[in-house]
Structure 1
Amino acid sequence: MSSPSCRSPTRATRSPAFKPLLDAIDLTGTVITADALHTQHAHGVYLRERGAHYIAQVKANHPGLFDCVRHLPWREITLDHHDRTRAHHRLEIRCLKTVVFAHIDCPDARQTLQVVRWRKDFTTGRFTIERVYLLTSLPPGAATGAQLAAWVRGHWKIENLLHHVRDRTFREDDSKIHVGHLPRIMAGLHNLAIGVHRQDGHTNIAAALRHTARDCRRPLTALGLPG
């Protein structure tokens, strides 16, 4: 398949904790999933040097790379995997396609993935379609379509359990805290609150926060401190 060269972002990393977080972990033979923030040349080089493979999402904040992968002839590519789930008053169908693509200037990038999600909410009647594009250093045949789909879905589960809660419940995107280390400190406190409540068995973090706020002794109890 011929295609114009696609260059990955080469700007300095915006995630200074990426390498320090992973330095103490043996990454040999692992598969690291990452969102579009980490779709960076330096991060890909680091993971491959540590013996890990990556699956990284490509979004419109990397316009050249995004245009290359989304304009591939996906309609002509054979479906590798699909699954269908029905839960929480919602039907979701996910389809995954993979294609070998050797014209991407990303460290050892071997395949491009497209995931299409059809979602029907029976409560509201709303129907949505979402297309997601990813790159991976895994060579063809190293993982089945089902394995790739499970890794991608596992990453989205983390997004829903943590980042989605931070965005919706704590409204981090609307925060006016932008000075120095304060945003990182607040993010750490939000992560702590989410982790403590999930450890206590709460699945609805917003409801758990409301419950805890009604009594000044409850936050101390949740942290295992005398009230």
Structure 2
Amino acid sequence: MVTAAAAGVLAGARSLTAIAEWISDAPVWASMALGFAVDPFAKTVVTLPHPATVMRLLTRLVGDVLDAAVSASLRARAVGRTTAKARWRAVAVDGKQLRGSRAAGGKAVWLLAAMDHTGTALGQQQIEAKSNETRAFVSLLHDLDLDNTVITADAAHTQHANGRWLRDRGAHYIAAVKGNHPGLLE
């Protein structure tokens, strides 16, 4: 059901109701590809969850736990994907507002994510707002192997504590400097 919900979002569904409706209206071939069972008697009818079941599941999912599971799966699939062993691995960290999303209180959902330069999402976590990206930087990268990794991030993450933490973990970083460090910028 989670994969079907993701497919519904990719198809343009922007609410829980729209996701549940997309699953109900999906073509038989798509439902079968998403793993829903074929009715053994009718053979052309796919057994789908009731829209209320889909909505109950999606409202009860813990986003950070789902993110961790999906990220771990993507990292496992990426191992050995490249034929040549690179000397350095490049990882970008950035935060973005999810367009069309709303959390409790009607505020937009913000995520801080780490992605390697092959396009694999290594991790992401929801943050309260753009201003909280800096505090989430270390916790986002904490479980990643950072040996021989070059981290890039925007100027908000150019903090002494972040640099020390990255060095202690065997990582390297490219620090963007703007007005948040006027002496260093000068």
Normalization by structure 2: what TM-score? 0.28
Flag the structure with higher strand content.
1
